[in-house]
Amino acid sequence: MDKVKVGIIGIGNMGTHHAKYLAEGKVPNAELTAVCDFDPQKLEWAKNNLPESVKKYESTDAFFAAKVCDAVMVATPHYDHPPLIIKAFENGMHALTEKPAGVYTKQVREMNEAAKKSGKVFGIMYNQRSIPLHQKARELVTSGELGEVKRTNWIVTDWFRSQSYYDSGGWRATWEGEGGGVLINQCPHNLDLWQWICGMPNRVRAFCKFGKYHNIEVEDDVTAYVEYENGATGLFITTTGEAPGTNRLEVTGDNGKMVMESGQLTFWRTTQPVSKFNKEYTGGFGAPEVWKCEIPVKGSGEQHLIVCQNWINAITKGSDLLAPGVEGINGLSISNAIHLSTWTDNWVDLPFDEDLFYTKLQEQIKNSTFKKEVSGKKLSVDGTF
């Protein structure tokens, strides 16, 4: 395939962004041929801002029936991601989903199974994997340069949101509309990067505060403690209620400490492994010599465009995906485990009981006092309209 005909379902904030760079021809070997949204105002935007050749559809049934696309990007509310991606595979299309992969892993697992059966190229818009800073951090850990990981700490509190932000969209900050708060909306990238760089934990104990700083029913303050298979521990702290915030990832290994903050990556490297020094040093007080190394990182790039181009290259050339769609379940597993730990007030092992999580989520939806509507259409429990 030399040229991929691409369609977009959902032309809100992210969908319009993707539509613009595709329509402008910024992704070689890709052509925007269709968009779909049930909102008449969004379709009016498409009519006024996209080429006339781009077909506009107000229903996904009409979109798929038209068969004018080889591949589809899904940029809808969270619950809709898995069913629409599955439908794309059923219609013989390649697919790329916006983050998060979904709201609950049971649903996402079904999507991943459909992807594997389809043989189509499946990506996820984890655009922050394209940032050189994050790639260098991952390289330090996965190459073994940092040594065996002992501790990971990520404090990411620079997600401040005002009450007016939450009031701006009917689906925001509800269990039924969004499926969660800061974990499912702001932090999917952080949770993905955390496991992409440091690996998956195998145990979680977490504490979420719901509506601590805002008039919402979902979490806006989170503290999660995790343990890894090798005995390492980790901490993940996030909120949308603090300003100014901090964004600092610190990973300690047997060969020193790595800190990623303010666009910089610093490696405090010990001249010998800490475990070796601990066993062999006989002088009482003392510590291994440490070198402070500023890791050079160049460029940031057009993140979304890079991931989209990588997806297109995987379709046309068989290139490896930077962000395979099936990996979307990893960060979501941590997110679900954090919620489940809070709801059960207990430890949660990974993999966790997906049926129990789903049951608990439905309880939150059923007991909600924040029922909202989206453009006059009530959201169903599975996220469809």
Flag whether pLDDT at 375 surpasses 70.
no
DSSP-assigned states of every residue in 173-186: T-TTTTS-STTTTT
β-strand partners of 205: 225
How far apart, in whole angstroms, are the C-alpha atoms of residue 186 and residue 242? 14
pLDDT of residue 371: 59
Can you tell me the mean pLDDT for 339-362? 98
pLDDT of residue 70: 98
Flag whether pLDDT at 296 surpasses 50.
yes
Q: Which segment of 126-135, 164-173, 375-384 scores lowest on mean pLDDT?
A: 375-384
How far apart, in whole angstroms, are the C-alpha atoms of residue 307 and residue 129? 9
Can you tell me the mean pLDDT for 313-317? 98
H or E element at residue 34: strand 30-36
Flag whether pLDDT at 1 surpasses 90.
no
Structure confidence at residue 382 as a pLDDT band (50, 70, 90) = very low
Which single residue is written with the structure tokens 């996209």? Answer: 50
Can you tell me the mean pLDDT for 263-286? 97
With beta carbons less than 8 A apart as the criterion, state whether 92 and 72 touch.
no
How far apart, in whole angstroms, are the C-alpha atoms of residue 63 and residue 331? 30
Domain 129-300+331-372 belongs to what topology?
A: Dihydrodipicolinate Reductase; domain 2 (3.30.360)
Structure confidence at residue 381 as a pLDDT band (50, 70, 90) = very low
H or E element at residue 124: strand 122-124
Average model confidence (pLDDT) across the chain: 94
* Alpha-carbon radius of gyration of the chain: 22
With beta carbons less than 8 A apart as the criterion, state whether 167 and 193 touch.
no
Domains of the chain, by residue range, sit at 4-125+303-323, 129-300+331-372
How far apart, in whole angstroms, are the C-alpha atoms of residue 202 and residue 348? 9
Helix (H, G, I), strand (E, B) or coil at 5: strand
How far apart, in whole angstroms, are the C-alpha atoms of residue 339 and residue 109? 18
User: Directed axis angle between helix 132-142 and helix 188-198, to 10°?
Assistant: 30
Flag whether pLDDT at 319 surpasses 50.
yes
pLDDT of residue 61: 98
Flag whether pLDDT at 270 surpasses 80.
yes
On whether the 4-125+303-323 domain is CATH 3.40.50.720, my answer is yes
What is the bridge-based pairing of β-strands 71-74 and 94-97? Answer: parallel
